[in-house]
Amino acid sequence: MTDLERQPLSRTAILDAGLRLADERGLAAVSMRAVATEVGVTPMALYAYVGSKAELLDGLVDRMLGEYLPESFTVAGIGWPDRLRRVADGARDMARRHPTAFTLLFDRPAVTSDAVRLVDFVYQALLDAGVPDAHVPRLERLFTTFCLGYALSEVNGRFGAGTVDPRGRRAQAAAGSVPAHLRLATYLDQAVDWDSEFEADVEDLLALVARATV
């Protein structure tokens, strides 16, 4: 910690401190003031490196994508379905690694060189699958948008338990306004295995890709 404070001030050191703060105390704890004390400097010293709070948050996206794109993202000897599965799993891993910063991925297009390389990796997999050139960009967005949306739903609580008001639910059931819930009650009472659900979703999307072939 004291060692970290002593390393020379740099954009990277600032962003890493921001990401660390987000992971440890939540995205709301990432303030210019908190990041500044983390790197051992006054808040105003940060502005020379990151310009503004908004730019700092954009920078967190770069850092996350940087570690999300290991060198193992390579085409050599891996079929396109396994490559897409790898991308899908990577999105979820990233959400678990950075649960509160993850949402920032929805704020900016893929413009950094790491981001573009990642998109290219997906493009190549779709091309290898036989998807016509004209449909590749759309299917890339379809696939990654689903993966990011699923991961965000998990870490942000949309898929969470959710304390349903039992009284209200019984009233709705009695009023017959949720007939499908009644029919599916057996399945809705079971705990969901989110890993297998995601896997099944990805397999469905891979089938979609295979169907989009010429």
Partner DNA sequence: ACCTGAACACCGTTCAAGT
Q: Is residue 93 within 8 Å of residue 70, measured between CB atoms?
A: no
The reply to whether 45 sits near DNA by the rule CB under 7 A is yes
Q: Looking at 13-21, 66-74, 92-100, 205-213, which segment touches its own copies (CB under 8 A)?
A: 205-213
Q: What secondary structure letter does DSSP report for 110?
A: S
Amino acid present at 211: R
User: Which parts of 124-153 interact with its own copies (CB under 8 A)?
Assistant: 124, 127, 133-134, 136-138, 141-142, 145-146, 148-150, 152-153
Q: How far is the CB of 193 from its own copies (least distance, A)?
A: 10
Q: How far is the CB of 63 from DNA (least distance, A)?
A: 17
Among 15, 32, 136, 151, the residue binding DNA under the rule CB under 7 A is 32
x/- letters, 55..94, toward its own copies (CB under 8 A): ----------------------------------------
The reply to whether 208 sits near its own copies by the rule CB under 8 A is yes
Q: Is residue 21 within 8 Å of residue 29, measured between CB atoms?
A: yes
Cα 17 to chain centroid, rounded: 20
Among 15, 17, 105, 129, the residue binding its own copies under the rule CB under 8 A is 105
Among 5, 11, 12, 53, the residue binding DNA under the rule CB under 7 A is 53
Among 67, 188, 210, 213, the residue binding its own copies under the rule CB under 8 A is 188
Q: How far is the CB of 21 from its own copies (least distance, A)?
A: 19
Query: How much is the CA Rg of the chain, to the nearest whole Å?
Result: 21
In the chain, how long is the greatest CA-to-CA distance? Answer: 66
- CB neighbours of 60 closer than 8 A, spacing ≥ 6? 15, 18, 19, 22, 30, 101, 104
Cβ nearer to its own copies, comparing 9 with 212: 212
Q: Which DSSP helix (H) or strand (E) runs through 168?
A: helix 166-175
Cβ nearer to DNA, comparing 51 with 137: 51
In the three-class reduction of DSSP (H, G, I as helix; E, B as strand; rest coil), residue 74 is classed as coil
d(CA 143, CA 196): 17
Cβ nearer to its own copies, comparing 78 with 110: 110
d(CA 88, CA 42): 40
The reply to whether 180 sits near its own copies by the rule CB under 8 A is yes
Written as six digits, the tokens of 58 are: 């954009």
